[in-house]
Each structure stands twice: as structure tokens, then as C-alpha cells.
Amino acid sequence: MHSGNSIIIHSSAIIQYGLKNILLARNIAISVLCNTLPECELISTWKNMLIFADTRFTNELKKQARVLTRNGNTIIGIDTTGLIHDPPPGFDDILGIDDHVEVLYQKINDYLSKVSAVKSDNQLSGRETEILTMVAQGLNNKQIAGRLFISIHTVITHRKNITYKLGIKSIPGLTLYAALNNLVDFQR
């Protein structure tokens, strides 16, 4: 079980590899790995993610900041110049290329504490998780009701609760959430 999910947006293979290994050692899944921000897709579905992004993408991130912040993401800028000491607009924190690994661990721990608090507030019930899994598998309300021996109205109520708790309204968004949280396996 993963403690969190992360996204790395940086063109340096060395930085990607290093962050990836540190995050995986801390039991944080890597959901997306991109060289540039425009390469990344479905930004509006990113929720409660730990995002490491090159500070060169400040302007692009500023345009997405409201959506990313509203969805509870933590954005840590990676400064390879050594010139940036305060987080630029759109970033929650900054990580300098010369920072000690303990600084990175502290930033990761802060993120994990934040995600843990959000999960306890927005925890899906067992039935909601079951329905979310079925939605991600492509079942409609009638099919879900039939499999669970409940009314369609009950399914609709559960889906409204799922949408409210997760803040995700679209089926593709719910499917992505289910996949990122290991509720469905699409690799058959």
C-alpha cells in the first residue's frame, strides 16, 4: 500500500532517477514522470499529489495553480541554479540542488502528514470504494445495483458521496483516481 502519490516534472534524467528512488524508498508511488509541464496530461485530475517540478516551469504552473491547490496538491520546486531561496508563485516549497537529503525527507514527511489528514477527512466507506471500483471498470448504475443487490437510487447516492468526497466529477477522473490508488488493475 502506498502512502502517497507523486509526480516528477524535470528534464534531467539524474534528478528524475534520484527523486524516484528516494520516493519509492519512502513508499510513495510515482504516478507521472514528465520532462516538461506541457507533456503532462490530466492535470485537473491530480489530487493530493506530491509534485516535484523544475522552477523553470513557474509561468506554466502559475496558470494551473488554482486547480492544483484546490485539489490539495503540494508543489515543490527544484532549483538547480542555487539562486532561488523562496518558493516562486505557484509553488508551496523549494528544494535546492545543494540541499541535504534530510531537507528532502522533511518535505516528504510534511506532505505525508497533509495527505494523512485529508484521507481521514475524506475517507471513502467500504461500499463507496466498491462502487468506485465498479465505475472504473465501466459498469453503469443499473449493472452496479444488480451486482450489489441494491437499488439504483442507492447507487446514485453513493456516487454523489464519492464525487463530493473526492472532488472528481467525471468518469475518466474517477477511473484515474481508482487506478492511482490501486483499486483497479488495467494491466491484464
Per-domain boundaries in the chain = 4-120, 126-180
Q: What is the pLDDT of residues 61-86, one digit of tens each?
A: 888 777 777 777 888 889 998 888 88
What Å distances lie between residue 167 and 19, 26, 87, 100, CA to CA? 28, 27, 27, 36
Mean pLDDT of the chain: 83
Say which CATH topology domain 4-120 has. Rossmann fold (3.40.50)
Q: What is d(CA 82, CA 84) in angstroms, rounded to the nearest whole number?
A: 6
Q: What is the pLDDT of residues 109-141, one digit of tens each?
A: 877 777 666 555 557 888 999 999 999 999 999
Per-residue confidence (pLDDT) for residue 131, from 0 to 100: 94
State if pTM tops 0.95. Answer: no
Say which CATH topology domain 126-180 has. Arc Repressor Mutant, subunit A (1.10.10)
Q: Is the pLDDT assigned to residue 58 strictly greater than 90?
A: no
Q: What is d(CA 8, CA 44) in angstroms, rounded to the nearest whole number?
A: 16
Residues forming a β-bridge with 93? 76
Per-residue confidence (pLDDT) for residue 12, from 0 to 100: 92
Contact 76, 91 (CB under 8 A): yes
Per-residue confidence (pLDDT) for residue 119, from 0 to 100: 55
Q: What is d(CA 102, CA 81) in angstroms, rounded to the nearest whole number?
A: 20
Q: What is the mean pLDDT of residues 173-188?
A: 77
Per-residue confidence (pLDDT) for residue 178, from 0 to 100: 86
Of all residues in the chain, the percent with pLDDT exceeding 90 is 24
- DSSP letters spanning 68-126: HHHTT-EEEEEESSS---SPPTT-SEEEETT--HHHHHHHHHHHHHHHHHHHHHSPPPH
